[in-house]
Amino acid sequence: MKPFAARIVDWQHLHGRHSLPWQQTRDTYRIWLSEIMLQQTQVATVVGYYERFLARFPDVNCLAGAAEDEVLALWSGLGYYSRARNLHAAAQRIVAAHAGRFPPTAAGLMQLPGIGRSTAAAVAALACGERCAILDGNVKRVLARHAGIAGWPGDKRVENDLWQCAESRLPAKDIESYTQGMMDLGAMVCTRTQPDCAHCPVAADCVAHTENRTHTLPTPRPKKVLPERQTQMLLLLDRGELLLEKRPARGIWGGLWSLPELDAAADCSLHCQQRWGYDVEAQHALPPLIHGFTHFRLTIQPMRLHLAPRTTTPPGHVWLPLADVLDAALPAPVRKLLAPLSAT
């Protein structure tokens, strides 16, 4: 039987993915961009964003010179917005400190904002041919099953065991095909709920397969009840324009444009008068929207309020015509709330 890595490489050449838009290139910028977008996001979702982003920012210098609002607007809907802010910050550092050239090693890439150990290794392997191990979600699943490593991969001890396993299996050559093959195998064959062991190149000596443990490895995240939170979001309308509020740079939806919020039980009209001096002529509640985060569930109660003509714009806010609001950098649930409004 061939070594584990050799079987992965052979399988990738015959059955792996070869037509994704960031493949068939050694351009570090394009590979880096794809790897950041693919963090916690599926390929099918990323492709469209990647192509639009690349059309607007074809190289690291273009990205570094852009305004953060424009970067966030193109990222809007992809989620985990700290990735976009870090992407922008990393591009600026590459231009300012590295003359527009990416560090050629995983160790160097890890010094940039938003690039952890696995992402740095993936970029270094695929763009520069560096022999280093990756450990994204798909690879964790492949290794946990094949090596029989029990325990939730988010636990530090288990993660350390997986890193040791990943490093011990690296091939002496063909690191690009091996790295891509590990990602492809986890995404296409060794899937979370329905692994296709009959077509797996390493099933013959896979612990999970031979011991009938594919449904228990890797060990799922310990279940916990997510806290529930409620908020009101205000759709403030005046003469065909909507008020948007800039979120703080840190925290949920950092740096994005959103709707003003207040406590679920607060009086909307009184809030508008006391905070901005706006008089509300009419208001009504829209259907609530539930949005799930990693650590809690948020119930949003949208309130549509028509204002008497205003004369001021508060600092950190902007009034936009309804036809233009979807061009702003909006969180996904806010975009969902505003889509019907902007179409009228």
Per domain, the residue ranges of the chain are 4-132+170-188, 228-343
- Predicted local confidence at residue 65, as pLDDT: 97
Kindly state the average pLDDT of the residues 88-95.
98
pTM of the model: 0.86
Cβ atoms of 84 and 75 closer than 8 Å: yes
CATH topology assigned to domain 228-343: Nucleoside Triphosphate Pyrophosphohydrolase (3.90.79)
3-class SS of residue 292? strand
Residue 294: pLDDT band (50, 70, 90) is: confident
344 pLDDT more than 70: no
- Out of 35, 70, 211, 228, the active site residue is 35
- Predicted local confidence at residue 101, as pLDDT: 97
Q: What is the DSSP letter of 218?
A: S
Q: Scanning the structure block, which residue is given the tokens 């011990």?
A: 168
Residue 252: pLDDT band (50, 70, 90) is: confident
Q: What is the DSSP letter of 265?
A: T
Is 35 considered catalytic here? yes
Residue 249: pLDDT band (50, 70, 90) is: confident
The chain-wide mean pLDDT, for the chain, equals 95
Kindly state the average pLDDT of the residues 275-304.
94
Which tokens go with 167?
Answer: 């490093």
What's the length of the chain?
344
* Superfamily of domain covering 4-132+170-188: Hypothetical protein; domain 2 (1.10.340.30)
Q: What is the DSSP letter of 110?
A: T
Cβ atoms of 26 and 217 closer than 8 Å: no
Distance CA 288, CA 30 (A): 39
What separation in angstroms does the CA of 101 have from each of 104, 109, 146, 198?
9, 11, 38, 44
- Predicted local confidence at residue 149, as pLDDT: 98
Distance CA 191, CA 214 (A): 10
